[in-house]
Amino acid sequence: MKIAIPTEIRQGEQRVSMTPDVAGKLVKAGFTVCVESMAGFNAGYRDEEYKAAGAEIAADTKACWDGADVVLKINKPEKHPDGTDEVDLIPEGAVYVSLLSPMFEPELMQRIAARKCIAFSMDAIPRTSRAQFMDALSSQANIAGYKAVLMAANELPKIMPMLNTAAGTVQPAKVFVLGAGVAGLQAIATARRLGAVVSAFDVRPVVKEQVESLGGRFVELDLGESGEGEGGYAKQLSEEAQQKQRELLGDVAKGMDIIITTAAIPGRQAPRLIEQDAVFEMKKGAVIVDLAAGTGGNVEGSKPDEVVDINGVTIFGPTNLPASMPKDASQMYARNISALLELMVQEGKIDINWEDDILAAAVITKDGEVVHEKTKERLKAAA
């Protein structure tokens, strides 16, 4: 059975979906692993390392995709610079796995379905104990939260920790993290390791203990309702509660040196948490890293993959921070995706048990149709 590992073609992407060590384990299990030449180079993995692990090296894109039983990628199908569309490269009947974000691009899911392939999305993996080894959202969010703090610290015109020197005491930086999911918790831990005084807020009061266990102070706001949603995710607040939240968060933001925003709602635009009026009142030299910039932004004025200056406050809007640390990000993702692959392969052949709760939740297309319920709802609404 051939497993194809194509080069990622998204602008700025440096990760690869399979690392040599994980590829070697698949080869030993009886799979033919075909890696497109130079696919892992930007992540720090050379073709020679894949060869040493037993993988085959495809000379070009077509040779990699042709005849594949399984295609493993990080990003959704996109167009090559020469106009070749990756959707058209998916072999009919193959299993395709990547981070598809199906609810944001339902029409693309229809095109993938038309290839009569079985498509799984790594961002549809349920957040359960059994599925944690396959949770690519969490593995990549860990890296994003870590890098966001480093990015902010590098831009900040003061140091992070408190210093007692002969010239006097230097006060520590104040960091405010919005959203205490995986990225937020990693941001809290990283900022604390750098010596900052850290506060955090989340609409889910249940995360207070996690924030405090990392040395952060949990900011409690009376919004009149909880944002606790299904599966541990946040849910959308009422408009009245959202407005109250923005006002209260704006008051807290004024005294901060760094703000890291990570709040997201699955399949929806990111909630607006910080308004531009609040940014104007922040300290000159303060830094904001809006990790939700790609889905609308938590901060008014942030722009995807741009750096914006508003009244002396620098706002970063990175949409793919894991790609900036591609070696470890690729390693984590490869382990996630191979764990999912183990569920759908029996005795060296594709044998999918549709009663398995993980596979049933993560499948987006099969039998020529979009089967993911929430994506189907988006398609109906758009019709």
| Residue extents of the structural domains in the chain | 2-124+328-376, 140-323
pLDDT band at 92 (very low <50, low <70, confident <90, very high): very high
CA distance 93 to 107: 20
146 among known catalytic residues: no
Q: Is 233 noted as a catalytic residue in this protein?
A: yes
229 pLDDT higher than 60: no
235 pLDDT higher than 80 = no
Give the per-residue SS3 of 234-249.
Answer: ECCCCHHHHHHHHHHH
Q: Which of 110, 111, 193, 233 is catalytic?
A: 233
Classified by CATH at the fold level, domain 140-323 comes out as Rossmann fold (3.40.50)
**Rounded-to-10 torsion of CA 139, 141, 146, 148:** 160
In the residue annotation, 171 being an active-site residue is answered as no
Position 185 scores a pLDDT of 98
In this structure, the number of other CB atoms found within 10 A of the CB of residue 362 comes to: 24
Per-residue pLDDT, 243: 86
Give catalytic status of residue 335 as yes or no.
Answer: no
Does residue 109 or residue 380 have the better pLDDT? 109
Asked if the domains at 2-124+328-376 and 140-323 fall in one CATH topology, the answer is yes
* pLDDT (0 to 100) of residue 234: 59
Q: Mean of the per-residue pLDDT values for the chain?
A: 94
Q: Which of 10, 111, 127, 217 is catalytic?
A: 127
Q: 373: burial class by Cβ within 10 Å (0-12, 13-18, 19+)?
A: exposed
pLDDT at 231 over 60: no
Burial of residue 223 (number of CB atoms within 10 Å: 0-12, 13-18, 19+): middle
Beta-sheet strands, E only, within the chain: 2-5, 32-36, 56-58, 70-72, 95-98, 118-121, 163-165, 168-170, 174-178, 197-201, 217-218, 258-261, 287-290, 307-310, 313-316, 345-346, 349-350, 363-366, 369-370
DSSP 298: S
Higher pLDDT pick, 380 / 187: 187
With a threshold of 0.85, does the pTM exceed it? yes
Do 290 and 317 contact (CB within 8 A), yes or no?
yes
Q: What is the pLDDT of residue 159?
A: 96
369-370 β-sheet, strand order: 56-58, 32-36, 2-5, 70-72, 95-98, 118-121, 363-366, 369-370
Catalytic residue of the set 101, 138, 210, 338:
138
Out of 132, 236, 243, 276, pick the active-site residue.
132
Burial of 193 (0-12, 13-18, 19+ CB in 10 A): middle
Helices and strands: H and E segment counts in the chain: 13, 19
CA distance 2 to 5: 10
Q: What is the pLDDT of residue 347?
A: 82
Under 8 Å between Cβ of 139 and 183: no
Q: What fold does the segment set 2-124+328-376 form as a domain?
A: Rossmann fold (3.40.50)
pLDDT tops 60 at residue 155: yes
Instruction: State mean pLDDT over 303-326.
Output: 97
Q: Among 103-112, 189-198, 233-242, 267-276, where is mean pLDDT lowest?
A: 233-242
Q: Is 17 a catalytic residue?
A: no
Spot the catalytic one: 98, 101, 135, 333.
Answer: 135
Amino acid at 95: V
The pLDDT of residue 53 is above 60 = yes
pLDDT of residue 97: 98
The DSSP code for 79 is B
How does residue 263 score in pLDDT terms, banded at 50, 70 and 90?
very high
Mean pLDDT of 48-61: 97
